[in-house]
Amino acid sequence: MIPSSRLKVLVDAPPAPEGRYVLYWMQQSQRAGFNPALEYAVEQANALGLPTLVCFGLAAFPEANARHYDFMLRGLAEVERALAARGIGFVIRKRPPHELARELADKAALVVTDRGYLRIQRAWRQKLAEGLQRRLVQVEGDVVVPVEAASGKHEYAARTIRPRIQRLWDDYLRPLAKRPVAHPAHGLAIRSDVDLSNLPAVLAGLRIDHAVPPVRRFPAGEAAARARLAAFVSRDLARYEADRSRPETGVASNLSPYLHFGQISPVEVALAVRDRGVHSGVAVFLEELIVRRELSMNHAFYAPDYDRYEVLPGWARQTLAEHAADPRPHLYTRAQFEAGETHDPYWNAAMLEMRATGFMHNYMRMYWGKKILHWSASPEEAWETTLALNNRWFLDGRDPNSFTGVGWIFGLHDRPWGPQPVFGTVRSMGPNTFKKFDADAYVRMVDRLACAEA
């Protein structure tokens, strides 16, 4: 049973009796398994005696480049094969997603969509709903606890949202079975104009930034995501609490790219971890996966200016302004940061990991961002540099979790600390950072990863 709190009717109309299929507009939940929006669509199609059709509109997404599109398209190719095996239709076309959904909605009995929290995702759904003459139901499947069920307001910090989420999460941590497809879609004859069997040609034909190349470190798709999850649970979870802040140990789930593109469900991840029993690694990981990640969804939903400097709490902007004229120990341009041309070999290694592999260990992400603030001419310039690099190079950039992480660097979801030059009372990170792990081993690890991408 899909909880009713995951469902939101965006257009309230009865199913159209002349409809040829139930349409699922896939956008955020890019997977064929453990996808409540898909299973809801199949349920509705079975009840109406119709096939299920899934559509995906391939359009320009702000700041997305060849690295992001390659990963996404490889995942969608797997989705297409999995849906075909279930008798579910799939069409992908080079169209703005909401426009493709509206076009195909004309012959649908009803339309189902998943949920995203970024401004552009919300705008797409709003545009589809405006004037749509079909029932439109949104299914929220990429969080454990639906955002509005967790809280009706913008939460100040993890400590304020934690009890709300923990009180509810057992209600949502339930398996999701695949529904049988009673009416296969083989006769629909609705064609794609994107050939996912020839991904290099598709990628080459997109008008995007091709200077940021695809990566080998993260093979895309549901199968790869589940393999990562299985390896993490069996090998690393038991030592996660002790070693998660030591980047050189490799004790991380490495699931953020897959969660970003919806190639794995956070509920599926949480269930796999919880099933390992009760120990500290489980508790710490679930805190990060559910409480911390869903705090970021709360931020993006209730603070739609999530990518603007003005979204920072007033105390943080005030203290940074008061210290804006403080002498900086070093000053670098965005180009120097992007090239990894600072005086700090550990910061440069973090930037190399980001450029070469599309990923950076979370502990190094914090240091990386704090030093951009420390070594930029102004906090506003640091904000713009951090966001630009975050969105360009990370596979999981342009994501509520990623935008919120950038905000944390500047004081979001944090509290004032003892005053420091440049930072004021915003938390700083300095040389003591490297007393907690083997930084030289981290540099060697990054060199190996970068060589593997060359």
pTM above 0.85, yes or no: yes
Give the total number of structural domains in the chain: 3
Q: Is 359 exposed, middle or buried (0-12, 13-18, 19+ CB in 10 A)?
A: buried
Nearest to 219 by CA among 209, 227, 230: 227
Nearest to 358 by CA among 450, 253, 265, 244: 450
pLDDT at residue 430, as a whole number: 87
The residue among 92, 115, 142 that closes a domain is 142
Do the beta carbons of residue 255 and residue 220 sit within 8 Å?
no
Q: What is the pLDDT of residue 431?
A: 85
Let me know whether 421 and 332 are in one domain: yes
Residues 196, 76 contacting (CB under 8 angstroms): yes
How far is 403 from 119, CA to CA, in rounded Å?
12
Does 389 map to a domain? Answer: yes
The answer to whether residue 201 sits within a structural domain is no
CATH number for the domain harbouring residue 293: 1.25.40.80
Q: What Å distances lie between residue 151 and 4, 76, 119, 362, CA to CA?
A: 16, 32, 19, 26
Residue tagged 């970024």 (tokens): 118
Residue 339 sits in the same domain as residue 284: no
Distance of CA 429 to the CA centre of its chain: 26
Q: Say whether both 339 and 234 belong to one domain.
A: no
Question: Is 444 part of a structural domain of the chain?
Answer: yes
Neighbours of 146 (CB within 10 A): 20
For 7, phi then psi, to 5°, come to -105, 140
Q: Are residues 298 and 313 in the same domain?
A: no
For 161, residues 6+ apart whose C-beta sits below 8 A from its C-beta are 150, 151, 155, 291, 294, 295, 298
Report the pLDDT value the prediction gives residue 326, as an integer from 0 to 100.
Answer: 98
Pick from 364, 389, 377: which is nearest to 320 by CA?
Answer: 377
3-state secondary structure of 396: coil
CB-CB neighbours of 153 under 10 Å: 10
- Cα 180 from Cα 198, distance rounded (Å): 30
Residues 158 and 285 in one domain: yes
Within-domain flag for 200:
no
Question: Looking at 116, 142, 168, which one is the last position of a domain?
Answer: 142
Closest to 281 measured CA to CA, from 242, 230, 235: 242
Determine the Cα–Cα distance for residues 292 and 298; give it in Å rounded to an integer: 10
- Distance, CA of 358 to CA of 360 (rounded, Å): 7
Same-domain check for residues 321 and 449: yes
In a domain, 210, yes or no: no
One domain, residues 173 and 112: no
Does some domain include residue 57? yes
**Rg of the chain's alpha carbons, rounded to an integer?**
22
75 touches 98 (CB < 8 A): no
Q: Which of 378, 346, 380, 382 is nearest to 363 (CA)?
A: 346
For residues 328 and 406, membership in a common domain is answered with: yes
Burial-class residue 65 by CB neighbours within 10 Å (0-12, 13-18, 19+): buried
**Residue-level length of the chain:** 454
Question: Position of tokens 């040389």?
Answer: 431
The answer to whether residues 176 and 256 belong to one domain is yes
- Do 280 and 389 fall within a single domain? no
Query: In this structure, what DSSP letter does residue 166 have?
Result: H
155 and 132, same structural domain?
A: no
Query: Does the residue 204 lie in any domain?
Result: no
Q: Please tell me the distance from the alpha carbon of residue 64 to that of residue 209, in angstroms, as a whole number.
A: 8
Pairing of strands 89-93, 135-139: unpaired
Query: 451: Cβ–Cβ under 8 A, 6 or more apart, which residues?
Result: none
- Among the candidates 249, 274, 302, a domain finishes at 302
Q: At what angle do helices 379-393 and 400-409 cross, to 10 degrees?
A: 150
**Per-residue model confidence as pLDDT tens for the chain (454 residues):** 899 999 999 999 999 999 999 999 999 999 999 999 999 999 999 999 999 999 999 998 889 999 999 999 999 999 999 999 999 999 999 999 999 999 999 999 999 999 999 999 999 999 999 999 999 999 999 999 999 999 999 999 999 999 999 999 999 999 999 999 999 999 898 999 999 999 999 999 999 999 999 999 999 999 999 999 999 999 999 999 999 999 999 999 999 999 999 999 999 999 999 998 778 899 999 999 999 999 999 999 999 999 999 999 999 999 999 999 999 999 999 999 999 999 999 999 999 999 999 999 999 999 999 999 999 999 999 999 999 999 999 999 999 999 999 999 999 999 999 999 999 999 999 888 998 999 999 999 999 999 999 9
Give 291's contacts (C-beta < 8 A, 6+ positions apart). Answer: 158, 161, 162, 165, 166
Q: Report strand pairing: 108-114 vs 21-25.
A: parallel
Decide if 211 is inside a domain.
no
User: Amino acid letter at 329?
Assistant: P
* Burial of residue 365 (number of CB atoms within 10 Å: 0-12, 13-18, 19+): buried
Same domain, 126 and 252: no
Q: Which domain holds residue 399?
A: 309-453
Q: What is the domain-level CATH number for residue 345?
A: 1.10.579.10
Q: Residue 278 has what pLDDT? A: 74
